[in-house]
Amino acid sequence: MPTLASHRKPRTRMRTTAPAVGLTTAALASVTLLSTQSATAAPAPKPGIEDVQKKVDDLYRQAGTATQQYNQAKEAAATQRTKVDALLDDVAKRADQLNDARRTLGTYAAAQYRSGTIAPSATFFLADDPQSYFDQSQLMDRMTSRQQKAITDFRTQQTKAAKKRAEAVQSLETLTTTQTTLRTSKQDVQKKLGEARALLSKLTAEEKARLAELERKKEAEARRKAEELAKQQAAAKAEADRKAAEAAKEADSGSGTGTGSGTGAGTGSDSSATAKAEQVLAFARAQIGKPYVWGATGPSSYDCSGLTQAAWKAAGVDIPRTTWDQVKTGTRVATADLRPGDLVFFYDDISHVGIYKGDGMMIHAPKPGANVREESIYYMPIYGSVRPA
């Protein structure tokens, strides 16, 4: 029977790409809309010059703090290195002593091995006479005593050497930690200074001029306050001199038979302090114009505490390296009672210091990019002051 042909019509396959095209178009429209919105969004407002000045000043202050951390870590590293070197030298000496004790023990052990061990009774019977036996016995006793001492010495040297090695290892670990802090502090200083330079580099010529004008106003206000302090100090001195003159006059008009028992110790002490202060200021004045370099202690450049340390050293007085340690030196004094040579510290974190020269002014190493100069002590917020000697 012949095969019948199928009368079923073939199904037509339907394409379903149209909705996809619609979705894609919608997505593109959304992206375009978002892009347009982003393009038309208002840019972030540019900070004002006052804000820039505040930010730059804060960055320089932070760099000053990091500089003091660097100075502290550098000084600690130098001290620790000296300690480590001394310990390593001591360990080497004790190793030599330990080796000497070991060689002594080796000599006794070798001698005992060569001679063998003989019972005391056998030694008595083999001796030529009883007296020689007793002489030999006493010699052996003395040998045994020396051997015991050698063993004791060896153990003592071994214990001491082990202790010193442990101290050396600990000191080396401390040195490594200090050196890590030193590197971190150095990186912090460089980072803060880099941020300040980058901020200033973005300013236009007009903005830089406005910033300079703000600086001039700040300096003028600081000088005005310094002049006020100078007037107050001059008035206080005049009053003190007047009272001293009156006291001297009353003393002269009193009993003419005074014994003259005064020692004058106070005057001598004041004269010595004044002489030192003059030496400090003479040194500081000679450094005016030299550049500020963080971590520097002279003679061609200084940071703030490097200058104060060097100036007082020129007067024969050793003070610590960092501002944080210098502020603990000598006697605290009020701002109204400042005398030439006193140290004035700034900011709550005590990250800056200058040398008071009188009339509300100081000599200091200000900041990177500036030179050692005279400036009003009111240019920065005062923390406190000390008189080192």
Catalytic residues: 304, 352, 364
How many residues does the structure list for the chain? Answer: 389
- How far apart CA 354 and CA 323 sit, in angstroms, is 10
Question: Residue type for 13, please?
Answer: R
Q: For residues 305-340, b (16+ Cβ closer than 10 Å) or e, as one string?
A: bbbbbbbbebbebebbbbbbbbbebbeebebeebeb
Two structure tokens written together for 200: 């200033």
Q: Does residue 237 sit in helix, strand or coil?
A: helix
Burial class (CB in 10 A: 0-12, 13-18, 19+), 201: exposed
CB 204 within 8 A of CB 116: no
Instruction: Report the C-alpha gap between 164 and 87 in whole angstroms.
Output: 7
Q: Return the DSSP state at 132.
A: H
Question: Quick one: tokens of 84?
Answer: 């480590």
Query: Measured between alpha carbons, how far is 311 from 297 in angstroms, rounded to an integer?
Result: 10
Torsion angle, alpha carbons of 119, 123, 125, 130, to 10: -130
Dist. CA 363–CA 358, nearest whole Å: 10
Between CA 249 and CA 26 the distance in angstroms is 104
Task: Residue 360: name the closest of 237, 239, 224 by CA.
Answer: 224
Q: Is 359 left (phi over 0), alpha (psi -120 to 50) or beta?
A: left
